[in-house]
Amino acid sequence: MIYTLVAYVENKPGVLNRVASLFRRRTFNIDSLAVGTTQDDRVSRMTIQVEAKDDDVAKRIVANMYKLVDILHVEDLTHKDNIVREMLMIKVKTTKESRTEVIQIANIFTAEIVDAGIDSLTLLITGTQGKCNRMINILKPFGILEMQRTGAVGMLRDSEGLPEGLVQVMTDLGMM
């Protein structure tokens, strides 16, 4: 099962390497990783998707993450009411005959055409991993020239700002 973890970390050099090294040492494969700053530029937010056989393994991963000095707060979104999305940019080979069909597919998937070449279209889509996978499968017969996925980003639904535990940590560190 794929678990979606969100880690709030201090925005410092080397933090990403330490988190990735923890997963490597524990022989967990990161399926998806997206990192960016939060509303406070001293804090970054990592959304990590990892395969774990059960909840106990996922809890051990979270516990190990808390051992890292730059980790402020870790949240497992997997069994909570969440929103998880990723972005896919895909360049598809087109001919005079197939261009209209690819544009129709883009419209069905609410994808944006971000570039048009003589013999290709580049599409941008955001959505669930399943939606992105379906678009890739439908476009394969046309010929995928190039593609890039961002990895998942996620947050809880209806939550108001930062988790309470993170607010306390940031207050203790003088960040708030």
pLDDT at 40: 85
Q: For 121, how many CA atoms within 13 A lie in the half-sphere containing its CB?
A: 20
Query: 3-class secondary structure for 48-86?
Result: EEEECCCHHHHHHHHHHHHCCCCEEEEEECCCCCEEEEE
Provide the residue count of the chain.
176
For residue 106, the domain's CATH number is 3.30.70.1150
pLDDT band (50, 70, 90) for residue 157: confident
Tell me: pLDDT of 133 over 70.
Answer: yes
CATH code of the domain covering residue 35: 3.30.70.260
**What residue numbers bound the domain in which 135 lies?**
83-153
> Last residue of some domain: 41, 56, 80?
80
pLDDT digits (tens, 9 = 90+) for 15-67: 999 999 999 998 899 999 999 998 888 899 999 999 999 999 999 999 999 99
| Residue 117 and residue 55 share a domain | no
HSE toward the beta carbon, residue 106, CA cutoff 13 A: 24
Number of domains into which the chain is organized: 2
pTM: 0.83
Q: Examine residue 50 and state whether it is found in any structural domain, yes or no.
A: yes
Does residue 141 sit within a domain?
A: yes
CB atoms within 10 A of CB 67: 8
Of 28, 45, 80, the residue at which a domain comes to its end is 80
Any domain includes 176: no
Verify that 109 and 144 share a domain, yes or no. yes
H helix or E strand, kind and range, residue 26: none
